[in-house]
Each structure stands twice: as C-alpha cells, then as structure tokens.
Amino acid sequence: MEVGSSLDRSRFRRSIRRHGWPLLLVTPVAVILLLFMYAPILDAVRLSLTDASLLRPGQAQAVGLDNYLKIATSKEFWGIAGQTILWSVASVAGACVLGVLAAVLLTTHRRGRPLRGRVIIGGLILAPFVAPPVVSAYTWIYLYSGSGPINGVLNALGATEPVYFLGDTVTKILGVALPLWSMIQVGVWHGFPFFFLMVAAALTSIPVELHEAAEIDGATGWRSFRSITLPLIAPVLEVTIFLELLFRLGGLDLPFLLTGGGPLGLTNVWGVFIYQVGFARLEIGYGAALGVVLFLICTPFAIWYVRRSRRQLAGF
C-alpha cells in the first residue's frame, strides 16, 4: 500500500514538473477567456430564459423557454432570414470572385516578368480592408445619396430622377429590393481585399514549374487556372469563405451603419435585428435568446472550420 501511494505521489510530482510550466503559461489566457468570453455567453443563456427588460432592471422573472418559443413563431426573425442569407452569401461570393481575380491578375507573370506597379495596385486594393467599417459605410452613404456623385453621373447621362440606392422602397431587381443589392455591393467592396490578400499569399506558394509544365502541354489561361491554380488555392479559399460567412451571418457593422435595417426593413439582417430588440426595444431577455439562436446557427460553421483546420494541420 505504502509503496503504491509513494509511486503515485512521485508520478504526480513528475507530471507537475512536466506540465506545470505550460499550464502556468496558459492560465492567464484561460482566466481571461473564462471571464470575458465564456462567462458572458453563459450569462446570455441565463438571461435568455428570463423576461429581462432594460425598462425594469433587476425585476427579471424566469420564463423558461418562452423566448425561444417566441422566436420559433416570430415572423420578424424568420422573415429576415432570407435577407440575412442573401446578404451573407451574395456579398461573400462577390468578394471571393473579385478577390481571386485581382490576386491572379496581380501575381501573373507577363513574358516572365511580374506586373509593373503591382505593389501600388496591391496597396490600393487593400484600402477598403484597412478602412474601418464606419468610414466605408459613410463613404458609400455619400456616394449613393440623392445628390451624391453617382447620381451626378446618372444625371449627366440623362436621368431625370435621382436613384435612392439605399432608400428606394419600390425598385426590385430579381425580386430583391434595390437597397439590399446596394448593401451587398458595399459588402463585396469591403470584403474582396481580404480574399485578395489570402489568395495572393496562396498563389505565391504554387511552384512556377507546374504552370511551365502545363504550358508545354498546351494548357494556358483558363485551363491552367482551373486545373492547377484553383485546386491549389482551394483550401485557403474554403477557409476564407467560411470565415467571411461567419462574420456576415452574425455581423452588425456594415448593415447597421449603412441602413440600420431600413427602409421598411428591406435590408434588415439578424445582427441588426438583435441589436434593435435588445437596445432599442429594451427587451434584453428576448434579445439574448435571439443571440443564442444565432450562436447555434453559426456553430456548425465554426465546428466545420475547426475540424478542417485540424485536418490541414495533420496533413503537414
């Protein structure tokens, strides 16, 4: 008995010696995450089970799953699901296409030489990415306004009426209101530099010999891109697409700043809606429940991303 317990003790001491230092280093981060990330998430879950209102602080009553039942039958929440998905998918898809195109054009060698001025052009491409969302949003609000430069050009071309890109409640394109299309356009503009950055980095890791060999075999242009470039940048592209989708699905900044969900709710998305419920209607309990539901909607994407990253790491 005594021998066994002394063995256990020495094993424990050895384990502490081996893992103690790393554990000590991880502790501050773990404590910060626990306090500022997980505790608020757990508190939001607790809050979502109450009727908490900022109008009646400290008087929240437990209501069980009432808020979740309200969400399940909420025409508002599910009504804007389509807009949220369209905003996320279309703006990410547009940004992806534009970003890949820019990266390929800028990294392609012409007659064995890199494109002249690529550093300056690359810097200009990155400008929307570097600009804070509030700057991007207000720039586009100005550009799109009734007396802004875009309408100035349309006017010079003969348009008699200004186009209210962010405020038109009548015009629809493919069944979607013009303000939502305008918001998607700004999303593309703001998001494509990130794709450009990621894809340009991935492109530099493709051996030049592959393209040279393909050229000898007669594959140039589109064929070379489809058969060589695209498969090799696909892992980076996948991760970037899913990260961007995650940001857009639960995001608040651009839609909130551009239109605040209006006009007539035509550009409302989940992030803005949750903000409105919590901080404009002051229904903080219901707002928390909406946040939890959005968290659950986004979780599969996050899990997919983590698994994918693990698989990629295992491959190295």
Partner 1 sequence: MTDQQQPEARRPADGPIVERASAATPSRRQVLKAGVLMGAGALATQVIAACAPAAASSSPNAAPSSAPASTGPAPSASAASGPSLDPSKAVRIWIQNYGDPQQQADALATISAAFKEATGVTVAFEGLDWATAEQKWDLAMTSGDLPDIGDMFYLPSRIVQGQGKWGPVDLTSNIDAGDFGDWNRIVNASRDESTIDGKVYGIPWRIDIRAWTGRSDMFASVPKTIQDLESMGLEVLKKSGIQTATTHFAQPVDALHQGGLAFGTTFLSPDYKASNLLDPKWVEAANWMRDLTTKKIFSAQSEVDQKFNQNGSFYSGTTGAVYGGGTMVNEAKGVAPQVVPLMVSGLQPAGASGVSWSHGSCAQWSIFQNSPAIPEATAFLAWLSTDPDMSHALNQATSTISADTDVQKLDKEPYNAAFYEQAKNIEPTDMPIVAWNEMRVFPDGPLNVMANRVWGSTDDIATILSDGHKAITDILAKYP
User: Which residues contact partner 1 by CB under 8 A?
Assistant: 54-59, 141, 145-147, 161-162, 164, 166-167, 169, 258-265, 276, 279-282
202: buried, middle or exposed (CB in 10 Å: 19+, 13-18, 0-12)? buried
Closest by CA position to 142, among listed 98, 184, 186, 172: 186
Compare residues 94 and 179 and give the one whose CB is closer to partner 1: 179
Q: How far is the CB of 147 from partner 1 (least distance, A)?
A: 6
- CA–CA gap between residue 227 and residue 267 (Å, rounded): 39
**CB nearer to partner 1: pick between 84 and 240:** 84
Stretch (H or E) spanning 110: strand 109-110
- Nearer to partner 1 by C-beta: 229 or 276? 276
Can you tell me the distance from the alpha carbon of 93 to that of 38, in angstroms, rounded to the nearest whole number? Answer: 32
**DSSP class of residue 115?**
P
Give the dihedral sign, CA 204/209/215/219: negative
| Cβ-based nearer residue to partner 1, 169 or 312 | 169
Shorter beta-carbon distance to partner 1: residue 99 or 291: 291
Minimal distance in Å, beta carbon 154 to partner 1?
Answer: 13
Whole-angstrom Cα distance, residue 251 to residue 189? 16
Alpha carbon separation from 59 to 50, 51, 53, 65, 253 (Å, rounded): 10, 9, 8, 18, 31
Of 54 and 72, nearer to partner 1 (C-beta) is 54
CB of 174 to partner 1, least distance (A): 21
Give the nearest distance from C-beta 164 to partner 1 in angstroms: 5
Q: How far is the CB of 31 from partner 1 (least distance, A)?
A: 24
Instruction: Return the closest-CA partner of residue 211 out of 196, 195, 234, 232.
Output: 232
CB of 252 to partner 1, least distance (A): 13
